[in-house]
């Protein structure tokens, strides 16, 4: 029988949030031992915390004893996302782009130095397109991030890239700024890696501030460069203009 302990007995709200964030990672195994180590709490406390969340179906355990997010977590995330203004406005545009091109279309935002994928519109026959929702990546590692960065000032980019440490410290400042200038000129960022190709463009609000990015993503065997430039890029730009108008932006 599942335990149903009050959360105040199993740890702080910070521990709950940190634990849920750990479970969104791609690490193959999330055991009580690894979770307790990551959170800096005892195994007993980690177990009680997991048991509480499991009783509410926010966490589930497989037959090997490894933990992952439960079905209730996905439902909660969807309800929260549906209440976010940007997603409500963007959904019709995402659906239309997905219907028109037969590929997955993502909505993403810039958070600190990362791009977070918030929502996806799928179409019949596209497999695994929801896998990026909730994921975050370094901004310069995605077409969405590059589309957003391309509209930022050179001073801001130099400050961002010039003092970069860690995973982007090897970035060639002039090379990336040159690439972003080309993206700004054409209005669309195109990226290809690992057999997957994507094209993205940014959306603005009434102040000219960048709100989000739209990305069409699919296998490179379908997302050929010629198709992206002649078919998908014009649609993306049109969709971004429609969505920008919803936020009050006018050229």
Residue 77 has a pLDDT of 66
What pLDDT score was predicted for residue 147?
Answer: 94
Q: Which residue has the tokens 């919803």?
A: 246
Q: Determine the pLDDT at residue 231.
A: 93
Q: Closest Cα to residue 104, out of 119, 88, 83, 82?
A: 119
- The number of residues in the chain equals 251
**Ranges of the chain with pLDDT below 50:** 1-11, 82-83, 125-129, 164-170
Query: Are the C-beta atoms of residues 249 and 220 closer than 8 Å to each other?
Result: no
Residue 130 in tokens? 């929801």
H, E, C per residue of the chain: CCCCCCHHHHCCHHHHHHHHHHHCCCCCCCCHHHHHHHHCCCHHHHHHHHHHHHHCCCEEECCCCCEEECHHHHHHHHHHHHCCHHHHHHHHHHHHHHHHHCCEEEEEEEECCEEEEEEEECCCCCCCHHHHCCCEEEHHHCHHHHHHHCCCCHHHHHHHHHCCCHHHCCCCHHHHHHHHHHHHHHCCEEEEECCEEEEEEEEECCCCCEEEEEEEEEECCCCCHHHHHHHHHHHHHHHHHHHHHHCCCCC
Residue with tokens 């410290």: 169
Quote the CA–CA distance of 30 and 35 in Å, as a whole number.
6
**Six-digit token string for 168:** 């982007």
* pLDDT, position 188: 94
Residue 165: its pLDDT value, please?
Answer: 43
- What count of Cα atoms within 13 Å lies in the side-chain half-sphere of residue 237? 15
pLDDT tens per residue, range 162-173: 654 444 444 577
Neighbours of 219 (CB within 10 A): 11
Its pTM surpasses 0.85: no
């Amino acid at each position: 029988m599942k335990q149903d302990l009050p959360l105040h007995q199993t740890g702080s709200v910070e521990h709950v949030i940190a634990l849920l964030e750990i479970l969104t990672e791609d690490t193959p195994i999330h055991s009580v031992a690894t979770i307790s180590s990551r959170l800096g709490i005892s195994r007993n406390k980690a177990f009680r915390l997991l048991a509480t969340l499991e009783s509410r179906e926010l966490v589930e355990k497989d037959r090997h004893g490894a933990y992952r997010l439960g079905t209730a977590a996905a439902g909660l995330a969807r309800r929260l996302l549906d209440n976010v203004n940007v997603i409500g406005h963007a959904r019709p545009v995402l659906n239309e782009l997905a219907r028109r091109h037969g590929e997955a279309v993502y909505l993403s935002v810039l958070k600190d130095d990362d791009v977070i994928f918030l929502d996806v519109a799928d179409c019949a026959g596209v497999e695994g397109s929801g896998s990026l929702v909730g994921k975050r990546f370094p901004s310069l590692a995605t077409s969405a991030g590059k589309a957003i960065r391309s509209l930022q000032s050179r001073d801001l980019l130099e400050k961002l890239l010039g003092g970069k440490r860690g995973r982007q410290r090897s970035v060639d400042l002039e090379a990336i700024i040159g690439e972003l200038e080309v993206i700004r000129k054409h209005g669309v960022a195109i990226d290809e890696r690992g057999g997957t190709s994507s094209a993205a463009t940014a959306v603005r609000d009434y102040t000219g501030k960048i709100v989000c990015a739209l990305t069409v993503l699919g296998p490179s065997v379908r997302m050929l460069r010629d198709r992206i430039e002649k078919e998908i890029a014009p649609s993306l730009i049109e969709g971004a203009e429609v969505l920008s108008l919803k936020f009050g932006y006018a050229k």
